[in-house]
Amino acid sequence: MSSSFRLGIDENGLGARLGPLVVTSVLAEVDERGARALSRKLPKSMRPDLDDSKRVVAHGDVALGEAWARALLGIDAKSPAALLERLLIDARAELRAPCPRHVEAQCWSESDEGFSAEPEMLERVLAHRAALERRGIRFVAVRSRVVCTNRLNELRARGINRFVADLHAMESLVLAQRALARAELHAVCGKVGGIGAYSRFFGPLGGRLHATLQEKPAKSAYHFPGIGEVSFVRDADGRDVLVMLASLVGKYVRELFMARIARFYPRPAPASAPSGYHDPVSAAFVEETALARRTRRVPESCFERARDDVDTEPKTKAAPARKQRVAEEKGRTSATLELFTEGCSDARRA
């Protein structure tokens, strides 16, 4: 029976104020039965545990994401840190290297960490994995790329906004998983912001020969000879099983880092844990830790993201050549895409 490789990729933390951007990929080898299974709805018995992460997990309650991470990466991992070591595509030492020594513990302290998923939940998720494998879906690898706050701020200073940083992380995972599969694959990624035409923003995939299969609001797809098909699909985290899994695992990873950040700044109990998004609890956390951050000499670039220009009204004046190009593409390029043009040329060189 012939087989092929499928890849699901999604992000967590793209719109956050604090904490990292986490991009996660799940690679599976599927036979004909597996391909059919991925094209259909999941059995009702699985849906409470495998769905769009926004429906089944929430800030402060990501035990299900943890359970799936352990089920996919190995239940023999003794701690969250050991699980993270298996998951991250970049070596931990490489990720920690840019951190000022006195601030390193903000994201990398493992103190007071432990697993939270109940044995019953873990057994249930393991049974779901076994059922998917019986349907012809063999899980091969799960990998995440973590882009820390300081790195996002560095990229922004070079004209590469968070949307393009997210896209480039997705591309790097496609290439890494393609190397592991040693065969062409079909990658499904969550849509990145309002981008419709991705070619002009490609980084790791930039300059590679490819054909545009379609560019529509719901889906943009490209074929790269030797790599395979790469699609960006709206609401993929609620439709594609592998993207659902990537989103669930990524949610757990981001919550793990946010918990470390919160523990680094002791506050009077019972202080609510910040999600890191633009909400009142996270805003209060920023205010309450201001003195501690000054005392500890924590660089602002390591703590809070600078706001992208796309978060406000665009103020960039396009060069004449760009104006002409935009006019030529007006019929097929959405207005939202123009929010991303700033830093486009820098992104290609990155």
For residues 340 and 226, give the distance between their C-alpha atoms in angstroms, rounded to a whole number. Answer: 29
The burial of 15, by beta-carbon neighbours within 10 Å (0-12 exposed, 13-18 middle, 19 or more buried), is given as: middle
Strands 228-233 and 219-224: antiparallel
For residues 138 and 124, give the distance between their C-alpha atoms in angstroms, rounded to a whole number. Answer: 18
Q: Which helix (H) or strand (E) holds 327?
A: helix 320-329
In this predicted model, what pLDDT tens digit does every residue of 190-235 receive, in sequence order?
A: 999 989 999 999 999 999 999 999 999 999 999 999 999 999 999 9
Could you say which architecture CATH assigns to the domain 1-350? 2-Layer Sandwich (3.30)
In this predicted model, what pLDDT tens digit does every residue of 292-332 receive, in sequence order?
A: 999 999 999 999 999 865 443 333 333 344 444 433 344 33
| pLDDT score of 310 | 46
Domain ranges of the chain: 1-350
pLDDT of 280 strictly over 90: yes
In this predicted model, what pLDDT tens digit does every residue of 50-96 receive, in sequence order?
A: 999 999 999 999 999 999 999 999 999 999 999 999 999 999 999 99
Whole-model pTM: value is 0.88
Neighbours of 60 (CB within 10 A): 11
What 3 state SS string does 148-170 have?
Answer: CHHHHHHHHHCCCCHHHHHHHHH
| pLDDT score of 268 | 80
Asked if 316 and 309 count as a contact pair (C-beta separation under 8 A), the reply is: yes
Give the residue-averaged pLDDT of 278-285. Answer: 96
Q: Which residue has the higher pLDDT, 12 or 343?
A: 12
Asked if 21 and 166 count as a contact pair (C-beta separation under 8 A), the reply is: yes
- Reduced DSSP (H G I as helix, E B as strand, rest coil) percent helix, strand, coil of the chain, to 5: 45, 15, 40
Report the C-alpha dihedral over residues 109, 286, 301, 59, rounded to 10 degrees: 60
For residues 255 and 107, give the distance between their C-alpha atoms in angstroms, rounded to a whole number. Answer: 11
